[in-house]
Chains A and B, each alone.
Chain A
Amino acid sequence: MPIFPELRTAVRVETQNPWPRFLVDIASWRLAGAELAAGRWTLLGLWGEADTVHMAVLRGQNEAIGVLSLPCADRRFPALGARHTPAIRLERAAQDLFGLVAEGLPDARPWLDHGAWGVRAPLGRAEPVAEAAAPYPFLPAEGGALHQVAVGPVHAGIIEPGHFRFHADGETVVRLEERFGYTHKGTEALMRGADLARAARLAGRVSGDSTVAFTLAFARAAEAALGLAPPPRAVWLRALMAELERLANHLGDVGAICNDASFAIMNAHCAVLRERVLRAAAVAFGHRLMMDRVAVGGVATDLDATGAAAITAVVAAVRQRFPRLVELYDNTASLQDRVVGTGRLDPALARQFGCGGFVGRASGRDFDARRWPGYPPYGDLRFDVPVRAEGDVNARVWIRIGEIEASLGLIEQLLAGLPAGELRAPAAFGAEAEGVALVEGFRGDILAWVRLNADGTVARCHLRDPSWFHWPVLEAAVDGNIVADFPLCNKSFNCAYSGHDL
């Protein structure tokens, strides 16, 4: 039986690994839209090329992953967003970057293009235009004594830039609308023509807090395209770095969430633990954030005994200190008052948007790319994937607490079972090839799709941050909360700006 029996007229593209890509006609594209709208499929990503639009989908409950490509010579395609809301921002971005037209898109405003590039459709026909920042009409809210609060792009804290437009009735938020694109750096354009090393460096700078996960996603996609198997030691070292990254981010964020509820002592203690993890990473791999340590075909750095000892020591320190902080979190009534019931994300929305990571898992969506579709070495390791159903700030904190414990266990297993051997397999080029990968970063699943030229340079690469499906539901989760709880809700999601804007 075919993996996508719905797509009767589709033509399979033979050059893509490991999951199939199908060239489809408009009827099949619409059919896919209907499957998404009906909730039988989940959208994993949507991106463009000059005359083609692609979507990656997850069929059923973890049955299959596939990429559907609709050639659109006239640069028009039927918008999925007309029936499937999660596609809207992705289609707005595809319109901005490729000059494609999503016909019937309910929201036709530009998304990443603020009129400041001096070029229209930079990844499509790249027509020079005069810089003209057009006014951006925010969605209205109507009613009695509503007022607007405009926040950003420069925020009060040390965080990334973005704009939040609140409509509030007294203290209560009646509508939050986000506007992004401020950190758009044209990464996908810089990827075109880049060799694998340069492209990996760019992937590692899509979102600095997820540099290991993004480089790993890019490397796995490129390796799938090249039929390249990294040596076992490299596979295990990559997982070790990925779990250290997850641990550091979760530790920092648990403290920062409490700090946004004015409970500074948690932040102080969690920041100390995070710092210890980063220092161990620097000893072990030569860089605190482990940037540029994952490479296509393996890793760029080995782990020696000193590094392994530093990691063992930090795992012991977190195991000793963190449980007491969890107890403090759980037993502080004033803090619980702020986090319980705040910023609730409806499980139905989490399912519809295919929310990954702790955001999805705190709202009942039991998905973790390490477990399914899975990638080595996680099949050889034991770890729990915590899931809760409440969907509030508290649930997201508890998922992160659970994931900290899971990562500690994984790091211990990775150190104990680390195979000896080579660090890198050499790549051999020769033909155009495509690869796709799904990697679990600390925020959730990162999708990487890459097409390589015959000489091994990148023809096209698309990297989809988990935040594409988190930011829109944050707007819904904040609804009806007080304005003062927005930082708390926002931090509990901790979506990426740079990862989203790319």
Chain B
Amino acid sequence: MRRTLLEGLLHRPLSEPPPALDAAELEAVAQAVGVAARARLGRSLSIREIDAGSCNGCELEIVALNNAFYDLERFGLRFVASPRHADVLLVTGPVTHNMRAALLRTWEATPDPKWVVAVGACAHDGGEFAGSYACERGVGAVLPVDLFIPGCPPTPVDLLKGLLGLLKLSAPR
């Protein structure tokens, strides 16, 4: 235990510099989020993750954001346990009919102002599950979506780019 702790203190941190956002990406986020959001988002965001019927692939990569390489909290982004503490709802999955009510109730429990980020191909338009009797065609069919992060699943770097784009927009100019 002592050796492991000591090594942790002496070695360089594993955390990597944030991914560079190119102008096109930033522009895409800006358009998606809109002017009103820019004014209201602080430098810190509380995120509530909701699995609305994903295969759990997106969850694996979202969890990875907390590991030492990505270390999400250094950017002021953190996952919270309740929608009542959240600014951003990070929603995965095509939205199964069986999760629709729970998703809506979670959204209603989130105080304004709030933003919805749809994560992954399923959350975009249902992905491979589009057309199923058991699914909606993505988060947009149920909630107003502010930002979409593509991928199946998006890599942690993809996720970071999307979330950092949100933060960067709100930085003072």
Q: Which residues of A contact B (CB under 8 A)?
A: 112, 114, 116-119, 122, 126, 131, 133, 153-154, 156-161, 181-187, 189-190, 198, 201-202, 205-209, 211, 252, 265, 268-269, 271-272, 274-275, 278, 282, 288-289, 291, 324-325, 328, 331-332, 496-498, 501
Contact = CB atoms under 8 A, between A and B. Distances in A.
A160 B56 contact: yes
A109 B124 CA distance: 33
Given A205-B128, A288-B61, 8 more contacts: A154-B106, A157-B81, A161-B51, A182-B53, A184-B134, A202-B128, A289-B57, A289-B153
Contacts of A331: 1
Contacts of B64: 271, 274-275, 278
B84 to A, nearest CB: 12
Nearest to B1: A328
A269 B4 contact: yes
B98 A183 contact: yes
A209 B4 CA distance: 29
B171 interface: no
Contacts of A117: 97, 133-134
B142 interface: no
A154 B52 CA distance: 9
Contacts of B53: 161, 182-185, 498
Contacts of A189: 132-134
A183 B133 contact: no
B5 interface: yes
B57 A209 contact: yes
Contacts of B66: 271
Q: Summarize B's interface: helix, strand, loop or mixed.
A: mixed
Which bracket fits the contact residues of B? 35 or more
Interface string B25-45: 000000000000000000000
B56 A114 contact: no
Contacts of B61: 288
Interface string B68-82: 110000000001011
A183 B93 CA distance: 9
Interface of B: 1, 3-5, 14, 49-64, 66-69, 79, 81-83, 93-94, 96-102, 106, 128-129, 131-135, 152-153, 155
A259 B61 CA distance: 18
Contacts of A206: 55
Pick the most buried of B51, B52, B59, B61: most chain A CB atoms within 10 A of its CB: B51
Contact of B133 (A122, A208, A271, A282): A122
The 7 closest A-B pairs by CB, nearest first: A208-B57, A186-B134, A156-B81, A186-B132, A116-B97, A271-B67, A208-B55
Contact of B4 (A274, A324, A496): A324
B102 A182 contact: yes
Nearest to A265: B4
A133 B49 contact: no
18 contacts: A117-B97, A118-B97, A119-B133, A158-B49, A160-B56, A161-B52, A184-B98, A186-B132, A208-B58, A209-B56, A209-B57, A265-B4, A271-B66, A271-B68, A282-B155, A289-B57, A291-B152, A325-B4
A186 B81 contact: no
A214 to B, nearest CB: 9
Nearest to A497: B56
